[in-house]
Amino acid sequence: MLKHRFISPSVVHFESPDRDTICGWRYAAGRIPQGTPQPFVRSIIAAVEKLGSRLNSNSIPKLVIGMNAILDSLSLHEVFLSENINWNEVLFIHYCETLNDKSTQQRTRLQEWAASEKIYKELVRAGAIPSDTSIPSGTVRGGCSEDALAPIGFERKILETPMTLSDLLPKKSLIAEGLELDDEEFIEKLKNRLESGTLTIFELLNDYWDSMCRCHQTGQDLMQRVPVEELTQRISSGDFFYKDMHLAHPDSPDGISWFLRATHYYAFVTYKLDLLNFNSISGLPFFTKLFEIPGITDRIFEKLVDVCGVDAPPFKARNKQPTEMISRLLGLLSKRDCGVACCILTIENPSFTADSITNADLYSQNGKFYVKARTLHRRLVFSVSKPRARKRKISLLSSVSAKVITDIIRSTSEIRARQKHYNKANWRKLFLLSSRKKLGSISRLSTAIGAGSGITLYNLFKDKLKSEKIDKGSFNLSSLRTTQAIICFLTHGSLKRVADLLNNTIQTVKKDYIPIWLIIYWGNRILRSLQQKFIVVATEGSPWQLEASDFLDAASLRKFIDKTLRELKHGDAFSEMIRDRLGKYSDNPKMTEPFINSELIIPMNSQALTVLYAYSDVVSENKSESSGVAYQDRETISDPQIRSIANLIRQCNYLADSELSEAEYAILSKISGDSLMQFQRMHLLATENAKELSLIFRKRLPKIEQREGC
């Protein structure tokens, strides 16, 4: 619950409970300029409180910044001294000044105005501002601005206006590439680019996580050398030396084992150690004499790095902070480790939003476990909360996700017990970590991924990410989730499948997850393809045909001509012109014949579907046919076409009548016939029987997977 209290006549504090802070509260200070009417002050404070109660707690500081910006602008222009206030002019001036402020970055300006815009709208609803006031929008609808929901690798390039001949861009920068490709091949190329980037990120994250787990095990093995009983005896006796050398000295036998065991004992048994750094550790009885030795901190740090080996966490040579090194050997998580876990879980479970996974709870308020085992699939189930939707998102975890969740539970168990001992509300959270400032939880894990300072994940993986054209701005949880949605859309072409993947509605998918630039990109491809047909036909026989077209070499131009000839229609005047001028390039005269529409009749019964499913599962991809360059007899069906038919029929099983578009409903009606329920029963039976028939195909027809096509 967001509340406010006045610290002074000119300062108001907004307070909200926050279990991630040490004190349990989050504060944001608002400034009240002198001369602001009290009714307006009460209205704007009420607007911030109302908005803050609906939005995420991380949005409250942004709202207060927006409130301060509004009051500063009104005070600067002495708005309240005027008897007749022109609110349209006031808001427009504030809008222009905010967006033209070059002292801050563009993203910061847009965020500030977005917060101010929300408050202005709330003031209009409350009657503090006339209802006919026009509130400018800071949202760009043209599809050219950076979007928080853009996929990985997406970026905007601002091109300078050429002033001289040397400033002119090469042809490659001015054309639409890929026009010679068939639509399926073009989509596959776009999808492969996104999948390649995602796979690279996933491999880097997995390697990082495996390295972290190995270091956890190294620390456990070292601590096993020193029994807890022996440590407690030494602490009770006050004797911390062996042969005139401190037990935890790096040069002492098992010195680093004693260091880790004692640190663990004070942090998670007696709870006398609050921070894992040298300053806090040096004040403990066991370590007092050790840290009196000159240069001992450097020696201990070097020994910690040595025992971690290649699995040591990254650190800056100038700033040798021991917290993350000690934490990793004690089996604890750092902020960066939690960021890696969030990325893996987001990629494998796109139904988890960035906010929901970073602020996920492991236990309910009643102490119930949110991780459950599903015996039917022998897999774990985990759910996260979406406060604005007022429901939980459930996901069936893969083996990788299940391992990550299991590792997190193990690595946070001791901090969880400590927080529970101190009655801290954050003991229920999934991510509990060790940092330089505290042992507990943190809300903004995103700063460890790409947007923060220090050694972020992007800085750690920078070279390999740049090779995939993934920049810092597009490396975040939202981009990873959106990428999975777009890959699903390009693979299946169904908004329903994307909605199921994200656990959202189709309306939300249309609005937020099919980006405007993708629609513009596809529309531009259609328009440029038509333009190229005009250009190629008009310049046929001219020496400048290649230079005038959108193709960099003669092979691409020839491929486009072949594609154009295959797509010719019957009775179209332009098609006849293309056939007359470009038909000579066809190796097969039948290729230029008009395409005749026809129908394929498939008996819809379980036996026919069984054969179709089994055959499509065992035949391999034929690259020469999928490219669409080679001519194929139109009275036969190729293996890729058979696979496409089988895939189309299978997808119909996922469609729901209540959420069908007109196109999807037409396809479903054509395939399922009069009874959708009967079709679904046939599909399930055929799917089961196809598994056995596939084995028979492979056994009795051993060369079926290398078929050259029908």
Band (pLDDT 50/70/90 cuts) for residue 331 is: very high
Can you list the positions of beta strands (E) in 185-290?
A: 241-242, 245-246
Name, in order, each residue with C-beta under 8 angstroms of 270's C-beta and a sequence gap of 6 or more. Answer: none
User: Which of 98-112, 271-285, 389-403, 586-600 ranks highest by mean pLDDT?
Assistant: 271-285
The residue type found at 306 is: D
As a whole number, mean pLDDT of residues 18-47 equals 83
pLDDT higher than 60, residue 705: no
pLDDT over 60 at 622, yes or no: no
Q: What angle do CA 301, 303, 308 make, to 5 degrees?
A: 100
CA atoms within 13 A on the CB side of 469: 10
At residue 520, the pLDDT reads: 79
- 14-18, 312-316, 453-457: range with lowest mean pLDDT: 14-18
Please state which of the ranges 530-534, 575-579, 667-671 shows the lowest mean pLDDT: 667-671
Long-range CB contacts (within 8 A, 24+) of 376-382: 380/405, 382/349
Q: Are 376 and 410 in contact (CB under 8 A)?
A: no
CA nearest to 559, candidates 529, 520, 534, 524 = 529
pLDDT tens digits, one per residue of 112-123 = 999 999 999 999
State how far the Cα of 568 lies from the Cα of 561, in Å rounded to an integer: 11
- Of 234-243, 356-365, 442-451, 471-480, the one with minimum mean pLDDT is 442-451
Cα distances from 59 to residues 51, 146, 705, in angstroms, run 9, 20, 56
Q: State the residue for tokens 């902070």.
A: 321
Q: What is the C-alpha separation between 466 and 116, in angstroms, rounded? A: 36
Ranges of each domain in the chain: 3-126, 212-329, 335-443, 521-592, 606-706
What is the per-residue pLDDT for 391? 67
- Rounded to whole angstroms, the Cα distance separating 162 from 578 reads 36
Q: Which two tokens stand for residue 310?
A: 């290649």
Residue scoring higher pLDDT (698 or 30) = 30
pLDDT score for 709? 45
Q: 415 falls in which pLDDT band (50, 70, 90)?
A: very high
Amino acid 19: pLDDT: 62
Arithmetic mean of pLDDT, 615-626: 59
Residue 306 has pLDDT above 90, yes or no: yes
Give me the count of residues in the chain. 710
> Average pLDDT in the 492-497 region?
81
Tell me how far apart the terminal alpha carbons of the chain are, to the nearest angstrom: 68
Could you report the per-residue pLDDT of 184-242, keeping only the tens digit for each? 788 888 888 889 999 999 999 999 999 999 999 999 999 999 999 999 999 999 999 98
> How high is the pLDDT of residue 319?
66
DSSP state of 434: E
Structure confidence at residue 631 (pLDDT): 43
- Mean pLDDT for all residues in the chain: 83
Query: How does residue 250 score in pLDDT terms, banded at 50, 70 and 90?
Result: very high
Q: Which residue has the higher pLDDT, 307 or 381?
A: 307
Distance (Å, whole) CA 83 – CA 194: 58
Per-residue pLDDT band for 660 (boundaries 50, 70, 90) equals low
Higher pLDDT among residues 153 and 192, named by residue: 192
When pLDDT is averaged across residues 628-652 and rounded to a whole number, the result is 70
Q: From the CB of residue 478, how many other CB atoms can be counted at a distance below 10 Å?
A: 19
**pLDDT band (50, 70, 90) for residue 591:** low
Residue 431 has a pLDDT of: 93
What pLDDT, on the 0 to 100 scale, is given for residue 440? Answer: 87
Per-residue pLDDT, averaged over 16-39, amounts to 79
Question: For a pLDDT cut of 90, what percent of the chain falls above it?
Answer: 38
467 pLDDT higher than 80: yes
- Higher-scoring residue by pLDDT: 285, 453: 285
pLDDT at 701: 67
In this predicted structure, the answer to whether residue 416 has a pLDDT above a threshold of 50 is yes
Q: Is the pLDDT of residue 563 over 90?
A: no
pLDDT tens, residue by residue, 48-97: 988 887 776 677 888 999 999 999 999 998 888 888 899 999 999 999 99
pLDDT at residue 337 above 90?
A: yes
Most confident of the ranges 264-268, 424-428, 517-521, 605-609? 264-268
Phi-psi bin for 208: left (phi > 0), alpha (psi -120 to 50), beta? Answer: alpha
